[in-house]
Amino acid sequence: MDRSGYWVYIRCDDCGEKLRTRIDLDFDLSDQYNDTEDEINYFCRKTLIGSERCFSPIEVKLTFDEQRRLIDKKIQGGQFISEEEYQAE
């Protein structure tokens, strides 16, 4: 098990290519404070570009809580898929 990593699996909306990326929970996250600066979340934004069919950028935005557990995810230009979908032909 990868304790310091969070894997994201996606499918490009334009061409259907499946991609994955690893978020390093120790180094890829940025601090995100609320208005009173007493509560912290972590944020990560990644832009992925496929290599097989097209080169359309896919932007992924992830928000994690204080314990670095995923609490929100958004994507533009693609769809989130499961690891099983990623590995299927």
pLDDT confidence of residue 7 = 96
pLDDT tens for the chain, 89 residues: list them. Answer: 577 899 999 999 999 999 999 999 999 999 988 777 677 899 999 999 988 778 899 999 999 999 999 999 999 999 999 999 999 97
Distances in Å between the Cα of 46 and the Cα atoms of 1, 26, 36, 42, 64 are 22, 15, 27, 14, 14
